[in-house]
A and B are shown apart, each in its own frame.
Chain A
Amino acid sequence: MVLADRLIAAALMALSVYFMWHASALPIGWEGTSGGPGGGAFPFWLSAIIFLCAGGVLVRSFASNIQDAGSYFDPETLGSVSMVVIALVITVAIIPWGGAYIALPLFLLWYLKIFGKHGWFLTLCLTIGTPIFLFMFFEVTLKILLPKGLTQPLFVPLYAYFF
């Protein structure tokens, strides 16, 4: 837990330095006569505060000699959480190429059948029902088109029917 706390504080410090570097592209100082701070001042000085506070968290964790109580990750469930994150990343990565109507059902199929260990009936109901609901709700009702990738031609007759 203490190690994770330190790592996160260090990561926040690194992030704030990155923010400061970006922000300093714009004036970060006081623009005398025109009044007030420059365009980069807000993000720069806020990041500086993050840097100081995260540094404070880090120093505090070294200064106090608290016993390491419990682990940050629950070893039993760390696997499940990382699997879900990886599945999400793969799903979004598929979208530009295969489209939402391939990526999302694949995600559901994996989540319900393999990850959730549900029966085929429930899995197929949701895997087939969800894209139909999404199509009717977003595309037909709201006119918000979801990305389709290479499945685009398959939707031409559907559009012809609904619009």
Chain B
Amino acid sequence: MELLGHLADGFATSLSPINLFIVLLGVTAGLFIGAMPGLGSVNGVAIVLPLTFIVPPSSAIILLAAIYYGAMYGGAISSILLGIPGASTAVATTFDGRPMAQQGKAGLALIAAATASFVGGTISVILFTLFASPLADVALAFGPPEEFALVLLAFTTFVGLGGDDVLKTIIMICLGLALSTVGLDLISGQPRLIFFDQPGFYSGISFLVLAIGTYGVGEILYTIETSKSSPTVTPAKITFKELKYGFKEMNKLWKTMSFGSIMGFFVGMLPAAGATPAALMAYGLAKLTSKNGDNFGKGAIEGVAAPETANNAASTGSLLPMLTLGIPGSPTTALLLGGMVMWGLVPGPLLFIEQPDFVWGLISSLYTANLAAVLVNLALIPVFVWALRMPFTVLCAIVLILCLVGGYAPSQKLHDVWLIIGFGVGGYLLRKADYPMAPLVLALVLGPLMEKSFRQTLISEQGNVMAFIERPLSGTFIALSVIFFLLPLLNSLRRLARSKTTADNPAE
């Protein structure tokens, strides 16, 4: 019951006119960003973050969370109307959303996507509310060894579950961590890695600079390359009759949607997994368990509902470890975390004790953001159809300008703008060679915490490395990390063994 009291207090914050307005603004902006092909929640948050100085810190986080939410809804719009996923998280939505649009059922597909997103969002926000406090209570017992072990665990999930090339994933993690050490040594205060004696490096490399570089400039360069011809927009209109029919159809899909939501939420909590794999998994499972599984890929409404519930649920899920443990569950939440630190709010269990107004205000704003997103989404569909016709070069020009000015604004150094261009080009080249970007950004955000907790532990334990294993919680995390780290190795060994047996017995 204490929980309901907290939530009620939270609603008192989030239902204030200013915060309601901010949520509405955020989800609308998020919907547009998500709907634009190539731009997803992470790009949106990276580009918009510098602009949020306009509102007080607690409202700024609500604004960013609302953008995150809106972008999750918006991704489906271009998946359905253009056949191009608006963000990688909406890839699975194209499988059935596009065929539906081609059969003239674009309106129904959009209704299905919006409703499914709403169901996924709502179920996962309820799960979030239930799990947040207990998890924060557990996390209160964390000392530096546990913090270090947890960050290590977050990184090893990329190696074990990320699905990208293992060597390239490790390179990106270490590169992010190494870049996070630029500036002044945490313990001794000595300058280190001051490249070319540029004074700009003394204050370190901001996560924002890396994020705007890779997810802003880099993304635009990548999209310029991949979008040679402009795609055709399928027209869509929504009438009240269709809306009623759509809701009736969706009412039959409760099993698919609740399953997608719960799975999405838990998959989303893992740093390496997140919304894209959650959506793909939900799609695959829905296809397996559905009675009309053969219709999947040919315009089945379930094929739109399943991934859309899962990707929204995953985005909420990834907020949980960020807020309670201070370990982001996705690149977007890594940016939210960086933003919070920038505004003087340190995520983690103490936040629940020191800033309960903020925490519960944010949690309750997820409920309002969810409701606002589904309403704005359905109401503005004609506007989206129109906006998707916007020439790509106009969008790119505006985003690039925002990247340059947004990168300059926080610390007002041209040095940062040069770095953004450098990271943009570097990120673009690395991404083309299949180097994953998410671990890089996560590593830069978590790097200082990792180094600090590691060295604090060793100083307080007089250099005894066993301190990490001797404590039960950190020992468990380390053991899990080792398992995740060895997972790809075991897999390749098994593959090797299998290929050997088939080579020995070619008849088999």
Spell out A's residues near B (CB within 8 Å).
4-5, 8, 12, 16, 19, 22-23, 25-26, 30-37, 39-40, 42-43, 46-47, 49-50, 53-54, 56-57, 60, 72, 74, 76-78, 80-81, 84-85, 88-89, 91-92, 95-96, 100, 104, 107-108, 111-112, 115-118, 122, 126, 130, 134, 137-138, 141-142, 144-147
- In-complex Cβ contact of A72 among B171, B432, B459, B463 (8 A): B432
Q: Is B178 a contact partner of A19 (Cβ separation < 8 A)?
A: yes
With a cutoff of 8 Å between Cβ atoms, the chain A residues found around residue B429 in the complex are 8
Is B508 an interface position by the 8 A CB rule?
A: no
Q: Is A116 a contact partner of B394 (Cβ separation < 8 A)?
A: yes
User: Least Cβ distance of A159 to chain B in Å?
Assistant: 17
Spell out B's residues near A (CB within 8 Å).
51, 53-54, 165, 167-168, 170-171, 174-175, 177-178, 181-182, 185, 187-188, 190, 192-195, 217, 220-221, 224-226, 228, 391, 393-394, 396-398, 400-401, 404-405, 408-409, 412, 414, 417-418, 421, 424-425, 428-430, 432-433, 435, 451, 454-455, 457-463
Q: A92-B414, A112-B394 are in contact. Are A8 and B409 (CB under 8 A)?
A: no
- Chain B: CB-nearest residue to A56: B167
User: Least Cβ distance of B197 to chain A in Å?
Assistant: 11
With a cutoff of 8 Å between Cβ atoms, the chain B residues found around residue A36 in the complex are 454-455, 457-459, 463
- Chain A: CB-nearest residue to B182: A43
- 23 sampled A-B residue pairs with Cβ under 8 A: A5-B433, A23-B192, A35-B461, A36-B458, A42-B181, A46-B174, A46-B178, A57-B171, A72-B432, A74-B225, A77-B224, A81-B225, A81-B428, A85-B421, A92-B421, A96-B414, A104-B404, A107-B397, A126-B394, A126-B398, A130-B401, A137-B54, A142-B53
Q: Is A53 a contact partner of B432 (Cβ separation < 8 A)?
A: no
Q: Is A80 a contact partner of B225 (Cβ separation < 8 A)?
A: yes
With a cutoff of 8 Å between Cβ atoms, the chain B residues found around residue A112 in the complex are 393-394, 397
Q: A49-B170, A50-B178, A57-B167 are in contact. Are A39 and B188 (CB under 8 A)?
A: yes
User: Least Cβ distance of A18 to chain B in Å?
Assistant: 8
Q: Is B167 a contact partner of A142 (Cβ separation < 8 A)?
A: no
- Chain A: CB-nearest residue to B409: A144
Number of A-B contacts (CB under 8 A): 178
User: Least Cβ distance of A31 to chain B in Å?
Assistant: 8
With a cutoff of 8 Å between Cβ atoms, the chain A residues found around residue B428 in the complex are 81
- Chain B: CB-nearest residue to A115: B393
Q: Is A92 a contact partner of B459 (Cβ separation < 8 A)?
A: no
Main secondary structure of the interface of B (DSSP, over half): helix
Q: A60 to B219, alpha carbons, bound, how many Å?
A: 28
Q: A147 to B194, alpha carbons, bound, how many Å?
A: 25
With a cutoff of 8 Å between Cβ atoms, the chain B residues found around residue A115 in the complex are 393
With a cutoff of 8 Å between Cβ atoms, the chain A residues found around residue B391 in the complex are 116, 118
Q: A47 to B174, alpha carbons, bound, how many Å?
A: 7
- Chain A: CB-nearest residue to B408: A146
Q: Is B177 a contact partner of A46 (Cβ separation < 8 A)?
A: yes
User: Least Cβ distance of A86 to chain B in Å?
Assistant: 11
Interface centre among B171, B217, B225, B400 (most CB of A within 10 A): B171
Q: A137 to B53, alpha carbons, bound, how many Å?
A: 11
Q: Is B455 a contact partner of A37 (Cβ separation < 8 A)?
A: yes
Q: Is A141 a contact partner of B54 (Cβ separation < 8 A)?
A: yes
- In-complex Cβ contact of A50 among B174, B192, B457 (8 A): B174
Q: A46 to B175, alpha carbons, bound, how many Å?
A: 7
Q: A37 to B455, alpha carbons, bound, how many Å?
A: 7
- Chain B: CB-nearest residue to A58: B167
- In-complex Cβ contact of B397 among A56, A100, A111 (8 A): A111
User: Least Cβ distance of B411 to chain A in Å?
Assistant: 10
Interface centre among A76, A80, A81, A126 (most CB of B within 10 A): A81
Q: Is B193 a contact partner of A142 (Cβ separation < 8 A)?
A: no
Interface centre among B185, B425, B460 (most CB of A within 10 A): B185
Q: A41 to B499, alpha carbons, bound, how many Å?
A: 41
Q: A100 to B414, alpha carbons, bound, how many Å?
A: 11
Q: A53 to B51, alpha carbons, bound, how many Å?
A: 38
Q: A36 to B463, alpha carbons, bound, how many Å?
A: 5
Q: A22-B192, A72-B433 are in contact. Are A42 and B397 (CB under 8 A)?
A: no
Q: A147 to B415, alpha carbons, bound, how many Å?
A: 13
Q: A116 to B181, alpha carbons, bound, how many Å?
A: 40
Interface centre among A42, A57, A78, A84 (most CB of B within 10 A): A42
- Chain B: CB-nearest residue to A40: B192
Q: Is A39 a contact partner of B187 (Cβ separation < 8 A)?
A: yes
Q: A35-B463, A36-B458 are in contact. Are A53 and B394 (CB under 8 A)?
A: no
Those 9 A-B pairs whose CB atoms lie nearest each other, nearest first? A116-B393, A36-B458, A39-B185, A35-B463, A43-B181, A111-B397, A35-B459, A77-B225, A46-B178
With a cutoff of 8 Å between Cβ atoms, the chain A residues found around residue B398 in the complex are 126, 130
User: Least Cβ distance of B269 to chain A in Å?
Assistant: 26
Q: Is A22 a contact partner of B193 (Cβ separation < 8 A)?
A: yes
With a cutoff of 8 Å between Cβ atoms, the chain B residues found around residue A16 in the complex are 178
Q: Is A104 a contact partner of B401 (Cβ separation < 8 A)?
A: yes
Q: A126 to B228, alpha carbons, bound, how many Å?
A: 23
With a cutoff of 8 Å between Cβ atoms, the chain A residues found around residue B463 in the complex are 30-36
